[in-house]
Structure 1
Amino acid sequence: MNRKNTWTSRCFVLTVGAVCLTFAASANAQVQTETNTTAGTASKAVKVESAQVVYVSGNDLVVKMADGTLRHFNNVPESARVEVDGKELGIHDLKVGMTLHKTITTTTTPKVVTTTKSVTGTVFYVQPPNSVILTMADGKNQQFKIPKGQKFDVNGQQTDAWGLKKGMTVSATQVVEEPQTVVTQQAKLTGTMPPPPPPPPADVPILIVVAEPVTPAAPAPAVAEAAPATLPKTGTELPLFGLLGVLTLLSGLGLRLFRKDV
């Protein structure tokens, strides 16, 4: 007798196992699921990072951050764009001295995802408080895990898993609310050209060179011919005769000395 009961129990366990396999194959088609998402008020945070271009060659870029640190970006893609004075520039258009601004906008949106699952069927087997096997409208059996605290509607009355009996037609609804936070980021890169050199101070005169025309010099006035000297009315010719006498005397002495030497 005991062997017969044992054999019957084993057969029942095998039968339940077969039912579980049937449920696993068709559960998705029997449970009605509805999902709703409710979004809350989004918050935005804006962060701006500035840097100055100190080196650019090919696709390599080195910038100096506001805190003085250097950042090296090697192999900058050709598709990268920066908006400068309303124009989109590529990596090859950047110049040393330009200032780049990266504006990062972070949007945080809280959401609540509500999932409602509902099922109606006839109790085929129940193992409280963990699981129940229901016969669905199409005649197939499905096994369900019973969540903690789950209530079932039986002829308009609420009961738990311990109140379920074979043959009861029950309806169950499970509502799960899952809070989520969706974070999105948007980055925009802009830039400004280097400032022009400062003008000289107002109190420092600017050197201006003006070439003045050269005026030819006027010719020197001709020297007037000297008028012949005239002796004063009171002068005489005696000094002239005296000079001639001296010259004659010297000439005679010279000849005498010449002959004597010869």
Structure 2
Amino acid sequence: MERNVSSLAIVLHSQRYGQLNRRLKLLSVDFGIIDVVSYGARKSLKSIKAEAFSDGQFFLYYNPVKKDYTLKDVQIIATHDELRSELDLTYSALLFCELILKTHGGESAKEYQLLSQALDFLVSDPDKMDRIIIQFIHQLSDLLGLRGDYERCPLCERPYGEREVLSFSTALNAPCCSDCGSLDASLLLLPGSRRYLSLTSSMSFAQSLEVPLSPTATARIKQYLLSYAQIITGGALKTLAGDILRGGEGA
């Protein structure tokens, strides 16, 4: 592998490393999720800055002996600094990064594109934050191969009725009919929510945000997908520990 490499990437996490340095966790198009040390990042105003949510072309040095990366330079495409101005926006962006870290399945280029779009939309249209959360989780589930079939039960293959409320299969991590639902599953998908998710399944991120959705429906679908996100990650998410993202339109 070349020692000097570069890749489009987004900073998922940044933490202090020693007195003057920072350790970054990047979602990179070319190398997946990698740890990168930024030496002297805390030293001066002239040092290389790459805060959490920063999107850009990262220039790295790879040490084949230690198998680690060092940040040499970065050409920032978007800082997404605006997301640090409001607590709910910050937590939304942190949720996206946490989900990528906990579910990363190797689709680095597609995950990068999804995260980059979601962060851009949070900046450009913060009033649609709840719908952006919905679509990020919805589209991430598709990348992970976990998106459910909204037309028929994946277990018994019976077509759903138009007004049928769906249960959930913990074995498949997917919605199913009530007869096939797991006894310990508490997720219920209402008909209107199912129609919205089915409709937007084939849409781009931008198109899905233009689909009309009432505040009550938005809140209901968001709560469903936040609970779903915790199931597919196998445990509690730090960003959902409090009530910051649990509220929303119509809540």
Calculate the TM-score normalised by the size of structure 1: 0.17
Task: Pick the structure with greater CA Rg.
Answer: 1
- Higher relative CO (CA 8 A, sep ≥ 6), structure 1 or 2? 1
Say which structure is richer in strand: 1
Calculate the TM-score normalised by the size of structure 2: 0.18
